[in-house]
């Protein structure tokens, strides 16, 4: 459901107006497609990791990651993304993606500081993977991406649950507080889902309580796809990869954007702050058979 004359839905338009970025959003909106360009198809075939966001059967929104060798992602035509992987049984989205579902995805190239989003409808392909019909394709700028190179981990086992609950443990809070990257899934009108990337120097994500995470929103592409969704629906899911071990911390809850002038003073470079009230946590070991090299921090990160 978009606003007449734009590719944006009413929540995105509201967020753009609150931020005073409507004109910039209109310019950026020209890059939003419903097809996969040839250059994007090539980009996808080179990736080793795909972040996927969706709503679980209980309605909570989660973000997770799928991995494979180069080529596990393919764009056989301009409206389709195939994924030769599905979430493991321990994953909160395993059941949701075993049937047709709205999904938001983001393919990240940390080494080249590139990323693209592809949102649409997913269905099992009958071969243990997914076929995603593209409805929204967006290439994003390189800001806030920490440069890393993937490494194979031959001894990796299947994903397994380390811990779960309704709040963050002390160790999970420490892990969140040292993260330099996370991904966020949100939902828009008509059940649509978007997955996006957030990056900064360690400490930019704050674990202010066992049931609360908070982070700054830095200057971006002015589309406000994440915050626009949150204007209409507070449900959100966060994925925090453990780049060193191949594990992951998955968090779900409800998020609220603080648009006040005071929020700009809360963190260096912040244009506003977002706070997530945590309702579910899942810590996975062997979430991916990859580890990554030490980061080269983005020069765009506020210090």
Evaluate whether residue 173 is within a structural domain.
yes
At residue 140 the predicted structure's pLDDT band, cuts being 50, 70 and 90, is confident
pLDDT in tens, 200-237: 999 999 999 999 999 999 998 999 999 999 999 999 99
Q: Has residue 250 been placed in a domain?
A: yes
| Residues spanned by the domain of 117 | 10-292
CA distance 48 to 88: 17
DSSP string, 81-122: EEES----TTSTTTTGGGS-EEEEEEEEETTTTEEEEEEEEE
Q: What is the pLDDT of residue 264?
A: 86
Q: Tell me: the pLDDT tens digits for 245-296? A: 999 999 999 999 999 999 888 899 999 999 999 999 999 999 999 999 999 9
Domain membership flag for residue 1: no
**Is residue 297 one of the residues assigned to a domain?**
no
Q: Tell me the mean pLDDT in the region 172-178.
A: 98
pLDDT band at 5 (very low <50, low <70, confident <90, very high): confident
- Does 298 map to a domain? no
pLDDT at 4: 65
The distance of Cα 141 from the centroid of its chain, to the nearest Å, equals: 15
pLDDT at residue 74, rounded to an integer: 98
Provide the CATH number for the domain around residue 38.
Answer: 2.30.110.10
The per-residue pLDDT of the chain, averaged, comes to 95
* Rounded mean pLDDT, 147-170: 94
Indicate the number of domains in the chain.
1
The mean per-residue pLDDT over the stretch 38-45 comes to 96
pLDDT at 1: 64
pLDDT value at position 163? 94
Q: Is residue 132 part of a domain?
A: yes
- pLDDT of 241 above 70: yes
What pLDDT is recorded for position 141?
A: 85
Classify residue 80 as exposed, middle or buried by CB count within 10 Å of its CB (0-12, 13-18, 19+). Answer: middle
What's the rounded Cα separation, in Å, for the pair 154 and 198?
A: 29
Asked if residue 283 is part of any domain, the answer here is: yes
Q: Is residue 123 part of a domain?
A: yes
Reported pTM: 0.96
């Amino acid at each position: 459901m978009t606003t007449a004359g734009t590719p944006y839905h009413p929540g995105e338009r509201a967020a753009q107006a609150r931020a005073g970025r409507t004109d910039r959003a209109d310019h950026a909106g020209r890059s939003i497609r419903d097809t996969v360009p040839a250059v994007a198809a090539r980009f996808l075939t080179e990736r080793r990791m795909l972040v996927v966001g969706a709503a679980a059967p209980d309605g909570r929104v989660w973000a997770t990651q799928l991995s494979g060798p180069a080529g596990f992602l393919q764009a056989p035509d301009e409206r389709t993304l195939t994924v030769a992987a599905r979430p493991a049984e321990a994953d909160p989205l395993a059941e949701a993606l075993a049937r047709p579902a709205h999904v938001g995805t983001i393919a990240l190239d940390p080494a080249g500081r590139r990323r693209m989003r592809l949102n649409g409808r997913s269905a099992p392909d009958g071969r243990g993977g997914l076929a995603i019909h593209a409805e929204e394709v967006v290439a994003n700028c390189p800001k806030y991406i920490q440069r890393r190179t993937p490494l194979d981990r031959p001894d990796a086992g299947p994903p397994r649950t380390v811990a779960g609950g309704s709040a963050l443990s002390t160790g999970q809070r420490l892990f969140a507080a040292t993260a330099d990257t996370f991904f966020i899934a949100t939902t828009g009108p008509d059940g649509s889902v978007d997955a996006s990337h957030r990056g900064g120097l360690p400490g930019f994500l704050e674990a202010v309580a066992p049931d609360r995470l908070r982070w700054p929103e830095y200057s971006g592409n002015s589309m406000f796809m994440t915050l626009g969704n949150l204007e209409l629906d507070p449900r959100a899911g966060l994925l925090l990869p453990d780049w060193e071990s191949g594990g992951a911390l998955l968090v779900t809850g409800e998020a609220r954007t603080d648009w006040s002038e005071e929020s700009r003073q809360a963190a260096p470079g912040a244009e506003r702050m977002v706070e997530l009230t945590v309702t579910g946590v899942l810590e996975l070991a062997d979430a991916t058979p990859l580890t990554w090299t030490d980061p080269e921090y983005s020069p765009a990160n506020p210090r």
